[in-house]
A and B are shown apart, each in its own frame.
Chain A
Amino acid sequence: MKKQLLSNTKNLILTGVGGQGNVMASRTLAGMLVDAGYIVTIGETFGMSQRGGSVMSHLRISPDSVKSPQIPRGGADVIVALEPLEALRVLTVYGNPQVCVMSNARPVYPIGVITGELSYPSEENIQVAFQRLSKAFWIIDATSAALALGNPVLSNIVMIGALAKTGLLPIDRRMFEKEIKKTLAADKCAVNLKAYDAGGEMIK
C-alpha cells in the first residue's frame, strides 16, 4: 500500500446549491493544484445539481497518491460554501475542531422553507454554529460582489479569490490566471480575474 500520512493530504469540501457554479469552482481549484504538482482527487455529486439540490465536491489534495473520492466523516480541513446553509450541512458531517470555513452570506432558500413547512436558521444561529464547530471562519457577501460585477454566477470565483487570500491552500493569482486561460473563453478572463480580486479584498 502506498504509505503516507493522512495529515499530508488536504481535504477540501466545496458546497452549494445546484446552479451556483460549484463544479466549475472545484475543477478550477483542482486544475491549479494539479499544475502545482499535487495529486488531486475530486469526488462530485452533481447528478441532480441542475434541480436546486445540494451539491458537494470533495477535493483531496495529496503530495503523492490518489485518494477516495469521498472524504470520511469528520475529515474536512477546509469547507468552502457558496451558500450558508450548505456550509452548515457539510460542517455537521465533515467538520472537526481544526476545520476552517469560508462561506458566502447569501441564502438560497430550500423549497420547504419557501412553502413554510420548514424554517431557515437565523444568521445568528449560523454564526454561532460556525464559531463552535470550526477553528476559523469567514462569511463574505460574495453574491453582492458578483452582482456588482454584473453576474451572480461569478460568486464562485469571488470565493476562490477569498480562499486564496486566507492562505489555507497553496494557490495564488498567477495560478488562477493560468488555469482560466486554459479553460475559459478569452473574453471572460478579465471579469473572472476581477471577481477573484474582489474576493481577496473581502478578507482582511
Chain B
Amino acid sequence: MTKLLSPARSKVLFLGNEAIARGALEAGVAVATGYPGTPSSEVIESLAHVASERNLYVEWSVNEKVALEVAAAASFTGLRSMAVMKQNGVNVASDFLLHLTASGTRGGLVLVSCEDPGALSSVNEGESRYFARMLEMPLLEPSDFQEAKDLTKWAFELSEQIGNVVMLRSVTRMSHASGNVICGKLPVKSRKAHFEYDGSVMDSSRGPMISTPVVAKHLLHQQKLKAVEALFEKSPFNRYFGAAKPELLMITSSACFLYAEEAIEMLGLQKRVGILKLGTTWPLPPKLLEKHLRKTKKILIVEEVMPFLEENVKILAAGLANRIAINTFHGKYDETLPSAGELNPDIVAAALCHILKVKRKTLPANYLSDSQKAAALIPAREQTFCAGCPHRASFWNIHNAIALDGRKGFVCGDIGCYSMAALSPATGYHTMPTLHSMGSGTGLASGFAKLAQFGLDQPILTVCGDSTFYHAVIPALINAQHNRADITFIVLDNAGTAMTGFQPHPGLAISAMKEAVPAVDIAAICSAIGAKVALSDPFDLETTRKILTSFLADKGLLKVLILRQACALSPEKKGKKIFDVKVNELLCLGDACGCNRLCTRVFRCPALTWDRTTKKAVVDEVICAGCGVCASICPQKAIVKTEASL
C-alpha cells in the first residue's frame, strides 16, 4: 500500500505536496490535472500513482490553461476536481480563469499554485496571490504540513459552497519540505458525473456555464465572495499565538509562519511578540483583523515576494482608522524585510532585532573568524549539464555551427533543463542570450527573423524541449511559418520532461496513469505546418553539425531540427553506461599548444577532470555516464571509448 493511502489517524511523514494530494483524496477528488513544474509536480505524480486504486482520472495536460479547463469540465458535471501548477502556470491559465470565476463552478474545484520565492528552481519569482484579488476568488495558504492536507480538503467544500474556484497557494519550502501529518478518512462513495444545462442563465448550478449577463453575474459573484469573508472570520486556520497585549504583532501566512515562530524562539521574545497566522488570505476577514490590530501599535507583516498581505491589511486599517488608532506598519514598504527573494528564520529574526532593539546571541569571535577563513577557500559550485547530458552535445553542435556560419547567430532560449545554457553561459558555450517564458523562444525568434529589412543579418535559432513544444511553442511556430520567418528551430527531444522528473507528455505513448495513449509526433506536426524537417542524434557530432550549418545557410524558410537522445538520468539510461571511457595519458596533450584542455576547459563535462600534477585529463568513473561524446571531440584521440561490459 502506498503511503498516500495510509489509514485514518495514522501519522505519516508527507512531503508538502503529498499532504496536498492526501487532502484532495480525503475530499473525494475525482479528476486531477496539472502541468509539471517545480515545486508543484509531486501533487499530480502522487495522485497518478493511486489513480486506479482510487478510481481517479489524473492527467498531465499539455499546459496549465488546458489543465484548468479539463478540471473545470469535471466540476461542471458535479465532480470534485483540481488543477495543479507552479506560479507562472497561473499566468498561462489566467485567461480561462478570468472567465471561469465569472461563470462559476459546481463540484468543488481547487486551483493549486506552488510558488517559488527566491526562484530556487524557476526563472522568475512570480506571485500569483494577486490573481485572487484581481479575479475575486478565495485564497488559502497552509503554513504547515497538517494544514496543507486539511486546508486542501476544506478548499473543496468551500468551492462547492460558493460555486466558484478556490485557490490554494503553497511555496517551495512547504511543497518540498516534509513533516508529520495525521491522516483523515478517505471517502468511500463516489459521485456520478452529469452535465445539467437546462436551468436559468443566472443559475450556475443548473444553467449554462457562461459569464453572461456579465454585470448581473459579476454582482452575484461578489455577493458570494462577501459570504466567504464571513466564513473566514471564524476559520480555525486563522490563529493567534502569544500574549494578550504583545508589544509587536506579526501577521503572516504560509511557511513564513514557521520562520516567524523560530525567530521568536531564537530571540526568546515569546512574551513581547504575538503572531497572527492567517490560513485564509483573500478576502481578509475584517473583524478578525480589527480585533488583532487593536492589540498593539506595532505591526510587522511577514511574507515572501510581493507585499500582498501588507497592502491588504493596510487597506483594511485605513477603513478602520476612526475606530483603531493608526498603527505603525513594518514590512516590505519600510524595508524592514527584503522585497525580493525568499525569507528564512534569520531574516525574520533580524527584522525583530531591528524593531525591538534586541541583539541576537552570536558565535564566539574566534569561531567566526575561523569560519570566515574557511569560507574563503570554498569554490562556487556552478550548475551545469549532467555528465552524459544530450543538451551539452546539442549546444556544442549549435555553437560550432554558429561559429562556422560566422554571422554571429544566436539562440532564443526557452524553459527546460536547457535553460542552463542561458543561466550559466559557458555551459551553453555562450550561444543563448535570451530566456523568458515557455514557448517565448520561438515567438522571439519569429520576431527577430523579421528584422532583416532593418538591417539585422544574424541567423536566428531557437530551442525548445519536447514538453515545451506542446505547451506553448506550436502557435509561435505557426506564426513563424505563416509570416515566412527564417529561423532554425531545434527541438531538444530528450524523451520526457526531465527537469521536473520525467512526467510523460504528448510525445510519449504513455499517460500519467501509465496507460497506452497515442503519441503526438513533433516531426509530423512541423512537416504539416510546412517547415523543412530533419532529425539527428546530438551525439553524432559530425552529422548534426552538417545539418545545422546547411540550415543556417538555407535562407528564407523555417527549418526544424529534432535532436533526439534520451536524458542521461532517464529511467532507461540511469546507471547504464554505453561506453567505458578512459584517457590515454600518453596521447593526452593536456594544456600544451595543440589542445589546451579542450575537454576540461571548454567542453566542461563534470566527469572529465583535470589532474593538476600530471597535467592530463582524467575521467571520473563514478560520475561518467558513458555517453562517449568526449571521445569524438578530443583532437588527439586520447579519450578512448570501449563498449561497456554489462
What chain B residues lie within 8 Å of A178 (beta carbons)? none
- Name the contact of A133 in the complex, choosing from B12, B122, B367, B384 (C-beta under 8 A): B367
Assess whether B604 is in contact with A68, with CB atoms less than 8 Å apart: no
Q: Does chain A have a CB within 8 A of B100? A: no
Assess whether B610 is in contact with A114, with CB atoms less than 8 Å apart: yes
Assess whether A41 is in contact with B363, with CB atoms less than 8 Å apart: no
Assess whether A113 is in contact with B262, with CB atoms less than 8 Å apart: no
Assess whether A30 is in contact with B384, with CB atoms less than 8 Å apart: no
What chain B residues lie within 8 Å of A3 (beta carbons)? 270
**Residue among A3, A40, A114, A115 with the most chain B CB within 10 A?**
A114
Q: Does chain B have a CB within 8 A of A34? A: yes
Decide: A66 near B383, CB < 8 A? Known: A51-B420, A115-B601, A121-B377.
no
Chain B contact patch, size range: 35 or more
Q: For window 36-62 of chain A, which residues contact chain B by CB distance below 8 Å?
A: 39-48, 50-54
Q: Does chain A have a CB within 8 A of B39? A: yes
Assess whether B261 is in contact with A1, with CB atoms less than 8 Å apart: yes
Task: State in angstroms the CA–CA spacing of A120 and B379 once bound together.
Answer: 6
Assess whether B604 is in contact with A111, with CB atoms less than 8 Å apart: yes
Q: Does chain A have a CB within 8 A of B358? A: no
- Scoring B residues 595 to 622 as 1 if CB is less than 8 Å from chain A, else 0, what string do you get? 0010011001010111000000000101
What chain B residues lie within 8 Å of A118 (beta carbons)? 379-380
Assess whether B345 is in contact with A72, with CB atoms less than 8 Å apart: yes
Give A129 Cβ to nearest chain B Cβ, in Å. Answer: 4
Task: State in angstroms the CA–CA spacing of A50 and B121 once bound together.
Answer: 11
Assess whether A152 is in contact with B382, with CB atoms less than 8 Å apart: no
Assess whether A92 is in contact with B262, with CB atoms less than 8 Å apart: no
Assess whether B13 is in contact with A91, with CB atoms less than 8 Å apart: no
Surface stretch bound by A, among B58-66, B170-178, B325-333: B170-178
Assess whether A44 is in contact with B610, with CB atoms less than 8 Å apart: no
- Scoring B residues 160 to 191 as 1 if CB is less than 8 Å from chain A, else 0, what string do you get? 00000000000011101111100000000000
Q: For window 509-540 of chain B, which residues contact chain A by CB distance below 8 Å?
A: none
What chain A residues lie within 8 Å of B39 (beta carbons)? 47
Q: How many contacting A-B pairs (Cβ < 8 A)?
A: 198
Nearest residue, chain B, Cβ from A65? B261
Assess whether B120 is in contact with A45, with CB atoms less than 8 Å apart: yes
- Name the contact of B381 in the complex, choosing from A30, A85, A151 (C-beta under 8 A): A85
Q: For window 355-404 of chain B, which residues contact chain A by CB distance below 8 Å?
A: 363-364, 367, 370-375, 377-386
What chain A residues lie within 8 Å of B11 (beta carbons)? 34
Task: State in angstroms the CA–CA spacing of A27 and B426 once bound together.
Answer: 34
Give A86 Cβ to nearest chain B Cβ, in Å. Answer: 8
Q: Does chain A have a CB within 8 A of B472? A: no
Nearest residue, chain B, Cβ from A74? B363
Give A155 Cβ to nearest chain B Cβ, in Å. Answer: 9
Interface size on A, residues (CB 8 A): 68
Give A181 Cβ to nearest chain B Cβ, in Å. Answer: 13
Chain B interface helix/strand/loop/mixed: mixed
Assess whether B177 is in contact with A113, with CB atoms less than 8 Å apart: no
What chain B residues lie within 8 Å of A116 (beta carbons)? 597, 600-601, 610
Assess whether B378 is in contact with A111, with CB atoms less than 8 Å apart: no
Give A57 Cβ to nearest chain B Cβ, in Å. Answer: 9
What chain A residues lie within 8 Å of B345 (beta carbons)? 68, 70-72
- Name the contact of A41 in the complex, choosing from B179, B264, B372, B373 (C-beta under 8 A): B179
What chain B residues lie within 8 Å of A93 (beta carbons)? 375
What chain A residues lie within 8 Å of B176 (beta carbons)? 43-47
Q: Does chain A have a CB within 8 A of B487? A: no
Q: Does chain A have a CB within 8 A of B575? A: yes
Assess whether B180 is in contact with A66, with CB atoms less than 8 Å apart: yes
Assess whether B606 is in contact with A43, with CB atoms less than 8 Å apart: no
Task: State in angstroms the CA–CA spacing of A125 and B379 once bound together.
Answer: 13
Q: Can you offer 25 A-B residue contacts whose CB atoms are under 8 A?
A: A1-B270, A27-B13, A34-B11, A41-B178, A42-B178, A51-B383, A52-B384, A66-B144, A67-B258, A68-B344, A70-B173, A70-B344, A85-B379, A88-B374, A111-B604, A111-B606, A112-B382, A115-B601, A121-B377, A121-B378, A125-B377, A133-B370, A143-B622, A152-B622, A153-B575
- B residues with a Cβ closer than 8 A to A are 11-13, 38-39, 116, 120-122, 144-146, 172-174, 176-180, 241-242, 255, 258-259, 261-262, 264-266, 270, 275, 344-346, 349, 363-364, 367, 370-375, 377-386, 417, 420, 426-427, 498-499, 569, 575, 597, 600-601, 604, 606, 608-610, 620, 622-623
- A residues with a Cβ closer than 8 A to B are 1-3, 6, 17-19, 27, 30-31, 34, 39-48, 50-54, 66-74, 85-86, 88-89, 91-93, 95-97, 106, 108-116, 118-121, 125, 129, 132-133, 143, 147, 151-153
Ranked nearest first, the 8 interchain pairs of A and B with the lowest CB-CB distance are: A47-B121, A69-B177, A118-B379, A129-B374, A68-B258, A92-B375, A121-B377, A42-B178
